Amino acid sequence: MEQFKNNVKKRIDYLGMEIAWMLREHGKTVVGEVSVKQLLGGMRGLTALVCNTSYVDPYRGLFISDYAIPEFEDKLPEEIFYLLCAGKFPNETELAELQEELAFRAELPDYLWTFIRQLPRHLHPMTMFSLCVLALEGESVFKQKYEAGELGKSEYWEYMLEDAVSLLAKLPALAAAIYRIHLLREEPMDYHPSLDWGSNLAHMLGVNPELSFAELVRLYMVLHCDHEGGNVSAFTSRVVNSALSNLYYATSAGLNGLAGPLHGLANQVCLRFIRGIHERFGESPGTDQLDAFVREELDAGRVIPGYGHAVLRVTDPRFTAFMEFGNRHCPNSPFLQTVKKLYYVVPNILKTYKEGKVANPYPNVDAISGTLLYQFGISHFDFYTVMFGISRTFGFCAQSIIALGLNQPIIRPKSVTNKWLMDALERA
């Protein structure tokens, strides 16, 4: 992995130079302020982190380096990992080097197979997935070297990268094993050495041999890979890693955040939502029926899954990319048709709901991703967030590799009490 490491090192050196300049010239310059509302409101809109792997523009969506979604949506997941870490796409030989390494490390250790088979069946697949990543923790080369006192601070990132490639390499076999053994109750499929990482995942899931399914899995992995640093899962993973907990600990922690219904679980909730609509109105509901249904949900105090976002203020470009895929590959799917009708109905309702309090009435990625997985044969909804988690692990890993390369310290903001805050406000 020499070329990969060299390219990541170049990026870290470049970012490090920028940071040195900012600290030298502007270490005490104030670039923002915090309101009481932000302090009490989940830090929404507060600029408090630097994350160099990706950026979310409220109106244009996800950027990785300077590339917007239409410029990278046709790439392989391993190319995206390269871009997240090195800030550039790999050339042919660089890609081949990384793919060879991923293939070399893809096999699961025997103890993990035993662990997977013994997992209680009632656990949610996200719980299984997170537990399995944690169970691999002993594989961490970073941990072994650190404990042996063999690591200088400047080498931390290199061993994070080693661990990242080993972990990512194993995810297709690991996730597919959970799906097949526990949800399908079938035997796992063998890894296919001639296939790339994403095609192997599609192949090992074993639900749909069509090329278009591999294409969907590839797109799914690319679109979910990272979404800057402040979302629940990425931030959690980074905070855990900032204590020098290795990437297995950090990834498992991030996955646990992703498992929440306001975050990654929304894709599974969305599909149940659409199925609920079909059960009630049939597979071709009218827009007036959908309008009434959505209003009922809101009146019952429930959120409309797949709509809204903490940062985005337009339709999520990841939603649009999936919609284009759906239009090409399954335009007549009743689920896709209902997603489209909801897109027509929901924003108009959310715009005026709670006196216009909903900051973004438009769909996010979760409003459609599950629909496509379902259409292509992944019929167990509980697995959808695992798919999200496999992909998001690329981002968790890249963020920590870069942060440690830049010697970022342990994350530890200061919290205060109501009393402290009220005293401060009285003095202001």
Contacts of 80 (CB under 8 A, 6+ apart): 64, 72, 221, 222, 225, 394
Q: Of 47-55, 138-146, 240-248, 351-359, which segment contacts ligand FAM by CB under 6 A? A: 351-359
Catalytic residue among 224, 263, 291, 316: 263
Residues comprising the chain, all counted: 428
Q: Of 30-38, 209-217, 322-330, 360-368, which segment contacts ligand FAM by CB under 6 A? A: 360-368
What's the sign of the alpha-carbon dihedral 8, 14, 20, 25?
A: negative
Query: Is residue 364 at the binding interface for ligand FAM, with CB under 6 A as the rule?
Result: yes
The answer to whether 224 is a known catalytic residue is no
**Exactly one of 10, 26, 37, 44 binds ligand FAM (CB under 6 A); which one?**
44
Tokens found for residue 253: 């922690």
Beta carbon nearer to ligand FAM, 168 or 304: 304
Between CA 418 and CA 83 the distance in angstroms is: 43
**Exactly one of 357, 412, 414, 419 binds ligand FAM (CB under 6 A); which one?**
357
Query: Is residue 264 at the binding interface for ligand FAM, with CB under 6 A as the rule?
Result: yes
Beta carbon nearer to ligand FAM, 354 or 412: 354
- How near is the Cβ of 366 to ligand FAM at its closest, in Å? 5
**Exactly one of 23, 262, 422, 424 binds ligand FAM (CB under 6 A); which one?**
262
Tokens found for residue 355: 């006196």
Looking at residue 307, the DSSP 8-state letter turns out to be B
- How near is the Cβ of 330 to ligand FAM at its closest, in Å? 22
Query: Is residue 290 at the binding interface for ligand FAM, with CB under 6 A as the rule?
Result: no
Between CA 188 and CA 268 the distance in angstroms is: 23
Beta carbon nearer to ligand FAM, 166 or 231: 231
- Residues touching ligand FAM: how many (CB under 6 A)? 21
Q: Which residues from 307-336 bind ligand FAM, rule CB under 6 A?
A: 307-310
The answer to whether 382 is a known catalytic residue is no
Q: Of 20-28, 154-162, 337-345, 356-364, which segment contacts ligand FAM by CB under 6 A? A: 356-364
Query: Is residue 177 at the binding interface for ligand FAM, with CB under 6 A as the rule?
Result: no
Helix ranges (H only) for 206-333 are 211-223, 232-242, 247-258, 266-281, 287-299, 317-329
What letters, b where the CB count within 10 A reaches 16 and e where it falls short, cover 130-139? bbbbbbbbeb
Dihedral pair phi/psi, residue 67, rounded to 5°: -95, 130
Query: Is residue 182 at the binding interface for ligand FAM, with CB under 6 A as the rule?
Result: no
Beta carbon nearer to ligand FAM, 90 or 317: 317
The CB-nearest residue to ligand FAM is: 308
Q: Which of 90, 85, 101, 71 is nearest to 196 (CA)?
A: 101
- How near is the Cβ of 217 to ligand FAM at its closest, in Å? 18
For every residue of 142-207, DSSP letters joined together read HHHHHHTT---GGGHHHHHHHHHHHHHHHHHHHHHHIIIIIII--PPPPP-TTS-HHHHHHHHH-S
Catalytic positions, please? 263, 309, 366
Binding site for ligand FAM (CB under 6 A): 44, 262-264, 266, 298, 303-310, 354, 357-360, 364, 366
